[in-house]
């Protein structure tokens, strides 16, 4: 799925010309017959799917400058390329001051339009990424920052938005890598606790003997080596949100104390006789079904009932494949090398067919690896290296290629098997050594050395 470009022009001939040109350039066109229609489309539900606008400056109902003003008033930061038959400097200055990303004169050529669209889309993506990073750090990340067109994910986000307006506990369940912490941050960033502390707790990464100390903190002298007071994660999150990731890995004794804190809003630090109070919202997540965790004895039933006010079920990426092209473009753009970088329809199709056991996190790694290793501005299926979850062949290589050695007498040696296997991988990668090394899971220098040793360096 390519970037979607909205064409706004009252002239049907110009609309058809631009529609054909945008398609030939590899984008998906959408059409509005005037300024009012364009504003309605961009402000509605369909507006989220528009990546850029080609806007005629002179129109009878609402002209281009009027559209730019309405977009600015509505807070819609979408790149707009203004076009007109009148290319005076005054028009250029006025359009740029009104917020246009670029200015072209009718009739615009395909090369000029392509340059303008690529620059506008790259600049918009970079600005959007920087804005998301700032919102994430300031605790104001919202649901509009979550990239999805999946109906299932949109239903989850609508429920999460309702939960954001209160301080009730929220449970989030889904496979590893689906974005549970991102949803938790959006819940905080969209509620009254925005800009307050957001403290993530990876329950599976805290040693059992240190859990209570990490959560509740300690007083000076509470134990040997406690030379200073530590507030604990609950104290750090006072006024904000405490996000428990993999809460089913929290020791049962700590779950008892957490339940008491949730009920009383009070806790006691190690080595203290004084009770502390903290106003903390709790959001908890797990990679397995919460009810299954309760049945397995990993999660206390009473804690589950206390937390189970709203439960969000995040679908895995393989069940929302329509999000893959959007996420691919998002992950490919932030770096300077991503400017103007494009994935062909074949490459996107290959990425959409993969099941992603690691979900969005795995997709990001695959895209970033492809972007780093490619030497062109257009990636095709041969540039995409997808993992194969098979066992290893002799020599430590992944077993997703078969080799058929025609031998007589004694069985082939290990070196002969490896030589045939590497040849098979090189044929698959069309002789691209960098891609072959990635496919085999070895470093490029190691691969070149092994080629020489196997007599395949020619």
Domains recognised in the chain with CATH numbers: 4-135 (3.40.50.2300), 143-313 (3.40.50.300), 388-458 (1.10.10.60)
Q: Tens digits of per-residue pLDDT, 295-340?
A: 999 999 999 999 999 999 999 999 999 999 889 888 886 554 445 5
Helix/strand/coil for 66: helix
Distance (Å, whole) CA 78 – CA 56: 16
DSSP 163-179: HHTS---EEEE--TTS-
- Over pLDDT 90: what percentage of the chain? 27
Q: Which stretch of 238-252, 311-325, 346-360, 419-433 has the lowest confidence by average pLDDT?
A: 419-433
E strand segments, 146-247: 170-173, 198-202, 241-245
Which residues lie below 8 Å from residue 418, measured CB to CB, with a gap of 6+?
394, 395, 397, 454
**Block residue for tokens 């067109």:** 149
Reduced DSSP (H G I as helix, E B as strand, rest coil) percent helix, strand, coil of the chain, to 5? 50, 15, 35
Is the pLDDT at 181 greater than 90? The verdict is yes
Provide the residue count of the chain.
458
Phi then psi dihedrals of residue 88, to 5 deg:
-65, 155
> Which segment of 132-141, 274-283, 294-303 scores lowest on mean pLDDT?
132-141
pLDDT digits (tens, 9 = 90+) for 137-175: 766 778 888 888 899 999 999 999 999 988 899 999 999
Going by pLDDT thresholds of 50, 70 and 90, the confidence category of residue 347 is confident
Bridge partners of 8, per DSSP, are 32, 55
Bridge partners, residue 342, by sequence: 378
């Amino acid at each position: 799925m390519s970037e979607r470009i909205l064409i706004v022009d009252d002239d049907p001939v110009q609309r058809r010309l631009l529609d054909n040109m945008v398609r030939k350039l590899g984008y998906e066109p959408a059409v509005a017959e005037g300024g009012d229609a364009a504003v309605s489309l961009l402000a509605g539900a369909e507006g989220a799917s528009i990546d850029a606008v080609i806007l005629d400056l002179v129109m009878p109902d609402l002209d281009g400058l009027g559209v730019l003003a309405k977009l600015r008033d509505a807070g819609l930061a979408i790149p707009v390329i203004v076009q007109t038959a009148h290319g005076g400097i005054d028009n250029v200055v006025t359009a740029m001051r009104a917020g246009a990303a670029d200015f072209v004169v009718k009739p615009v050529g395909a090369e000029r339009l392509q340059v303008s669209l690529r620059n506008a889309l790259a600049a918009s993506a970079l600005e959007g990424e920087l804005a998301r990073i700032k919102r994430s750090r300031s605790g104001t990340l919202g649901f509009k920052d979550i990239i999805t067109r999946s109906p299932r994910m949109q239903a989850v986000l609508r429920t999460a938005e309702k939960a954001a307006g209160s301080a009730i506990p929220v449970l989030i369940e889904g496979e590893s890598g689906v974005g549970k912490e991102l949803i938790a941050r959006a819940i905080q960033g969209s509620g009254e606790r925005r800009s307050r502390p957001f403290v993530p707790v990876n329950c599976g990464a805290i040693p059992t003997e240190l859990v209570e100390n990490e959560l509740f903190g300690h007083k000076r002298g509470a134990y040997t080596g406690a030379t200073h007071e530590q507030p604990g994660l609950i104290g750090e999150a006072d006024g904000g949100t405490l996000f428990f990731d993999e809460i089913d890995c929290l020791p049962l004794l700590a779950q008892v104390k957490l339940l008491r804190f949730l009920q009383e809003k009070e806790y006691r630090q190690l080595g203290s006789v004084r009770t502390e109070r903290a106003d903390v919202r709790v959001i908890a997540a797990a990679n397995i079904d919460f009810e299954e965790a309760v049945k397995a004895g990993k999660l206390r039933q009473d804690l589950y009932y206390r937390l189970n006010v709203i439960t969000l079920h995040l679908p895995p990426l393989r069940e929302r494949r329509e999000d893959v092209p959007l996420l691919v473009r998002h992950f490919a753009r932030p770096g300077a090398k991503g400017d103007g970088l494009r994935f062909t329809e074949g490459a996107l199709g290959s990425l959409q067919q993969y099941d992603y056991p690691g979900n969005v996190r795995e997709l990001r790694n695959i895209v970033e690896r492809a972007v780093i290793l490619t030497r062109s501005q257009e990636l095709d299926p041969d540039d995409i290296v997808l993992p194969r979850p098979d066992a290893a062949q002799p020599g430590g290589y992944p077993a997703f290629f078969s080799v058929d050695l025609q031998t007589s007498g004694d069985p082939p040696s290990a070196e002969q098997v490896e030589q045939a296997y590497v040849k098979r991988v090189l044929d698959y990668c069309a002789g691209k050594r960098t891609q072959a090394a990635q496919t085999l899971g070895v470093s490029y220098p190691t691969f070149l050395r092994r080629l020489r040793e196997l007599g395949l360096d020619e």
